[in-house]
Amino acid sequence: MAKAYWVSAYRAIKDADKLAAYAKLAGPAITSGGGRFLARGLPAKVYEFGLNERTVLVEFDSVEHAKAVHDSPDYQAALVALGDGAERDLRIIEGL
């Protein structure tokens, strides 16, 4: 079974307090669901049409695991805490 990856790009952070509340809940929800944080932060360098925005990369054992964590009550509570505090682009991509 191929691994899966969450790629989350933060287009805009509107409320740092809401983002902090989200992070406090989201991190444990993701790791308890088997997610492994591989990278997070601002890019070291951007090329072509790249945007200098916070990006988070999380590895899961499968697409099914990644979707289950996203849809879990614990992660959904983190999303409620985030509310309109950030604009994000979250994708789940299947590994090769």
- DSSP code of 42? S
CB 15 within 8 A of CB 86: yes
Percent of the chain with pLDDT strictly greater than 70: 100
Distance in Å from the first CA to the final CA of the chain:
10
Q: Which residues pair with 56 in a beta bridge?
A: 8, 40
Could you state, in order of their start, the residue ranges of all structural domains in the chain?
A: 4-94
CB 19 within 8 A of CB 95: no
pTM of the model: 0.92
- Provide the CATH topology of domain 4-94: Alpha-Beta Plaits (3.30.70)
User: Which pLDDT tens digit goes with each residue over 61-95?
Assistant: 999 999 999 999 999 999 999 999 999 999 999 99
Total number of residues shown for the chain: 96
Q: Which residues pair with 40 in a beta bridge?
A: 56
